[in-house]
Amino acid sequence: MKKILVLLLALLLPITSALAEFPLTTTGETLHIMVNNSALQPDMSQVKMWQAYAEMTGVNIEWENIPAGTATEKLNMAFASGELPDVFLKFNISASDQIKFGSQEGYLVNLNENGLLETYAPNFYAYMKAHPSIEAALTMPDGAIYSLPQIVESIPNKVAAKMFVNKTWLDKLDLEMPTTTEELYQVLVAFKNGDPNGNGEADEIPFGAPNFNYIYYSLIGAFGGGTRGVHDTVVDADPETGYPRILGASDAWKEMLTFCNKLYTEELLDNAIFTMKDAQYTANAAEDKYGVIVYTNFSNIPESIAENFVGLEEALEGPNGSKFWFPVRSDLHSIGNWVITTACENVPLALQFVDYFYCEDGVKLFNYGTEGDCHVVKEDGTLDFIDAVYESVASGISFDAAVAPYVTCGGSNPVIVMEKYFYGGESKPVPAAAAHAMVDYFPEEIWPIFTYTIEESEEASVIRTDINNYVNTMRASFVTGEESFDNWDQYVEQINRMGAERLCEIVNQAYLRSQQFTAAQ
């Protein structure tokens, strides 16, 4: 009943123009926003960008800050108790939870009814209609839309991982940038044996990353795996048939692991890769031990060391001629980032409030705050943060921590990520160049985020979890040599027994729905 009253209220309120007129309200209305806060971020009420936006809109924001790492627990507690905020922000609520708490339990507002989006979120609505894959990813199988997403236009943010090579070491050993997996191998051998860091010790780690995921991200495309991008790391599509397959049971996965086993055996791959801690990775980098690294940016290594690295100039080609870069996102980073509950008594205001972040002026405000208080405009017209931010960095804190009092930290935001206004590590010159170099090597088709019926989600979740855990355990065993590749067939049989065929059927059903939805728009 409450959900019906909320939607009736939306229909009775006046229709606004496509462009927001500030303030949005002059009656001092309040939005209670529960936010999944970053560990680096102060209370959101103290963040200058949000203070400025509250003043612009005339909206009083009642912030409920949820400490990092407790979001899932707090989300479930809120629904269980029925004590809901008006809006969940930055929770990245999954499609299955949106169906559960929206379609089944009626706690979430369906934004795809009564012209809510078209009327009160015209910026987002126009963008969504111009990008059918986004609408497909947001629309539940029953036609409901429960959330607004983080959209990605920026190429450096679409490319989830980049490979960086120590150019200083290449030059010292008179080596060329690798373009194939065999050339990469030869470069790694030279890095191991040539003392390129010049300290007279055999302490070089030719190939490293914060964890093994980044290693396989950078290699699997060269062996023909990961054919549909990074949104699904358990299932991709068979390049011959296009039908979904379990990536971890494919020939491409076996060939990639065989290559990694060779690197591990010859001590070319960081042999701590499966137990790596962030602090250990950073310490190795600080001591100039890495020759090739894979990550999304240089945020976790010293700037003086990062200056030695450049990105690959083209995707690596594998032994069978495969040459594409797997870890690429669709137009969406994530969904479930602005979710309005049926506790909200002014749904139109909650939509108008967030809609500004889906136009360029709003993106600029979201990322850089207000001029003077948060940023300055340089002579070339670009934006930069005020000196206080860089003074904080000089004192020894991270850049993200330094900007946290001024703008929102972390991802899963209801905003468009535009390269010109994104200030994170991905936008720095070398990571940005590395991402743009991969554009010509993106997979032919990048799967969006799929939505599933509640029955499909429940069934697929169990199968996916079992297979993913098994594949992750066994990949370490194969790479380290604890498990022989002679046992590969038994390994694949075990994956099949876990429900591989059924998982592929479910993914294919979701894929076909997505294709039909997009074609109909």
- Phi and psi for 225 in degrees, rounded to 5? -115, 165
- Cα(430)–Cα(162) distance, rounded to whole angstroms? 10
Task: Give residue-wise pLDDT tens across range 450-481.
Answer: 999 889 989 999 999 999 999 999 999 999 99
- Cα(336)–Cα(99) distance, rounded to whole angstroms? 11
Q: Which of 368, 390, 420 is the last residue of a domain?
A: 368
- Cα(173)–Cα(191) distance, rounded to whole angstroms? 8
What pLDDT does residue 450 have? Answer: 92
* Residue 73 CB partners (closer than 8 Å, separation 6+): none
Are 345 and 9 in contact, with CB atoms under 8 Å apart?
yes
Between the two ends of the chain, the Cα-to-Cα distance in Å is: 32
Q: Would you put residue 195 in left (φ > 0), alpha (ψ -120 to 50) or beta? A: left
Mean per-residue pLDDT, 358-376: 97
Q: Which helix (H) or strand (E) holds 62?
A: strand 60-66
Average pLDDT, the chain: 94
Task: Give residue-wise pLDDT tens across range 285-321.
Answer: 999 999 999 999 998 888 899 999 999 999 999 999 9
Task: Give residue-wise pLDDT tens across range 204-231.
Answer: 999 999 999 999 999 999 999 999 999 9
Same domain, 11 and 145: yes
What pLDDT does residue 425 have? Answer: 87
Same domain, 314 and 341: no
Q: Which of 368, 389, 424 is the last residue of a domain?
A: 368
Question: Is pLDDT above 50 for 151?
Answer: yes
- Cα(11)–Cα(15) distance, rounded to whole angstroms? 9
What pLDDT does residue 299 have? Answer: 85
CA 48 to centroid of chain Cα atoms: 25
Confidence class for position 410, pLDDT limits 50, 70, 90: confident
The answer to whether residue 105 sits within a structural domain is yes
As a whole-number percent, the residues of the chain with pLDDT over 70 amount to 96
Write out the residue range of the structural domain in which residue 213 sits.
162-327+447-455+473-520
Confidence class for position 42, pLDDT limits 50, 70, 90: very high
Same domain, 352 and 302: no
Mean per-residue pLDDT, 99-117: 95
Tally of CB atoms within 10 A around 275 = 10
Average the pLDDT over each of 11-25, 334-348, 368-382, 503-517 and give the range with the smallest value: 11-25
Average the pLDDT over each of 17-26, 338-347, 364-373, 487-496 and give the range with the smallest value: 17-26
What pLDDT does residue 516 have? Answer: 87
Residue 495, SS3?
A: helix
- Cα(117)–Cα(490) distance, rounded to whole angstroms? 51
CATH at residue 338: 3.40.190.10
What pLDDT does residue 19 have? Answer: 57
What pLDDT does residue 31 have? Answer: 98
Tally of CB atoms within 10 A around 109 = 28
Average the pLDDT over each of 71-80, 295-304, 334-343 and give the range with the smallest value: 295-304
The answer to whether residue 62 sits within a structural domain is yes
Question: Is pLDDT above 70 for 15?
Answer: no
Token pair of 397 as six digits = 């804190």
Average the pLDDT over each of 58-62, 412-416, 421-425 and give the range with the smallest value: 421-425
The answer to whether residue 231 sits within a structural domain is yes
Question: Is pLDDT above 50 for 4?
Answer: no
The answer to whether residue 232 sits within a structural domain is yes
Residue 425: closest CA among 227, 171, 161: 161
Are 325 and 441 in contact, with CB atoms under 8 Å apart?
yes
Question: Is pLDDT above 90 for 423?
Answer: no
* Residue 518 CB partners (closer than 8 Å, separation 6+): 132, 133, 135, 136
The answer to whether residue 388 sits within a structural domain is no
The answer to whether residue 424 sits within a structural domain is no
Same domain, 176 and 141: no
Q: What are the respective helix, strand and coil percentages of the chain, to the nearest 5?
A: 45, 15, 40
Same domain, 49 and 167: no
What pLDDT does residue 2 have? Answer: 40
Tally of CB atoms within 10 A around 445 = 12
The answer to whether residue 433 sits within a structural domain is no
Residue 358: closest CA among 378, 329, 340, 332: 332
What does 194-230 look like in DSSP terms, one character per residue? S-TT-SSSS--EEEE-SSHHHHHHHHGGGGT--TT-T
Same domain, 168 and 308: yes
- The sign of the torsion formed by the CA atoms of 445, 450, 455, 457 equals positive
Are 188 and 291 in contact, with CB atoms under 8 Å apart?
yes
What pLDDT does residue 1 have? Answer: 38
Same domain, 205 and 120: no
The answer to whether residue 195 sits within a structural domain is yes
As a whole-number percent, the residues of the chain with pLDDT over 90 amount to 88
Are 90 and 412 in contact, with CB atoms under 8 Å apart?
yes
Same domain, 147 and 168: no
**Overall number of domains in the chain:** 2
Mean per-residue pLDDT, 12-39: 78
The size of the chain, in residues, is: 521
Same domain, 97 and 232: no
- Cα(257)–Cα(262) distance, rounded to whole angstroms? 9
- Phi and psi for 485 in degrees, rounded to 5? -65, -10
Same domain, 347 and 253: no
Q: Would you put residue 200 in left (φ > 0), alpha (ψ -120 to 50) or beta? A: left
Same domain, 242 and 135: no
Tally of CB atoms within 10 A around 487 = 13
